[in-house]
Amino acid sequence: MAKVKRLKITHQPKCTGCELCVMETQRQLKKVGLNDSLIRILKKKGSTFQVELDPQIQNLNIQAISDICPTKVLKTTEKEEFEDEGF
């Protein structure tokens, strides 16, 4: 069995909308600007934000993305997956 790391949203209400995670994602993709990011931060009513992750985010350095989040909204989790044994 192989362990697979995944980026998860854990404490969404704590998101401040700072977009540091978006900037880190764009930096890794060598993209300028915040358009077409694999993470979207949507402003909701009041001062709350909704975080959306594109599944392709899992292909990036997700540890760096979770580390940059000041309020620990984003977290990497590790889970065991069965390897394809070719049968």
Under the binding rule (CB under 6 A), the answer on residue 67 touching ligand SF4 is no
Under the binding rule (CB under 6 A), the answer on residue 41 touching ligand SF4 is yes
Taking CB under 6 A as the binding criterion, the range among 18-26, 29-37, 55-63, 77-85 that sits at the site for ligand SF4 is 18-26
**The token pair that represents 79 in the structure block:** 């889970």
**Alpha helix segments (H runs only) across the chain:** 20-28, 62-68
Q: In the complex with ligand SF4, which residue's Cβ is closer, 51 or 57? A: 51
The residues, ordered by sequence, that sit 6+ positions from 13 with a Cβ below 8 Å of its Cβ are: 48
Q: In the complex with ligand SF4, which residue's Cβ is closer, 3 or 52? A: 52
Which residue ranges make up the site for ligand SF4 (CB under 6 A)? Answer: 15-21, 41, 51, 69-71, 73-74
